[in-house]
Structure 1
């Protein structure tokens, strides 16, 4: 039905079975599935914003660039939203 990969399926299963957990997912289909199942989730961008707010990283922009080099794709609009939430725009 959802055509999720093995990794996304495992993450959602663990989060579903452990309701205090939050799934960390970027895949659009996995996010839709998560919403239907009532599983709270956060993506890579949310993790970066949280890390900046907690002082773990100094720049979301630098971290986003590193993630893009490693293969993460984000639209320019999503990048701007992430930077704005982190106070970098």
Structure 2
């Protein structure tokens, strides 16, 4: 089982400028939700943004260490427009 901090670091390795928040949805450590904010997402459709994050977690997902991931991605400007804190 990966810790939430390990999942965050895996994402940040692929997207070094990212702000990341990962939550465990079920308490079992394998159904996660992540919010990722990165300038790398600028000009990319949501599917490409998600593919970048999934690429960072591909090994954990292939081994089913992470069974499910609910993902929300934002550019820094889009995140700022939500008015939320990460």
Work out whether the TM-score is over 0.5: no
* Higher percent of residues as strand: 2
Say which one has the larger Rg: 1
Give the TM-score taking structure 2 as reference length: 0.29
Which has the higher relative contact order, 1 or 2, with Cα contacts under 8 A spaced 6 or more apart? 2
Give the TM-score taking structure 1 as reference length: 0.28
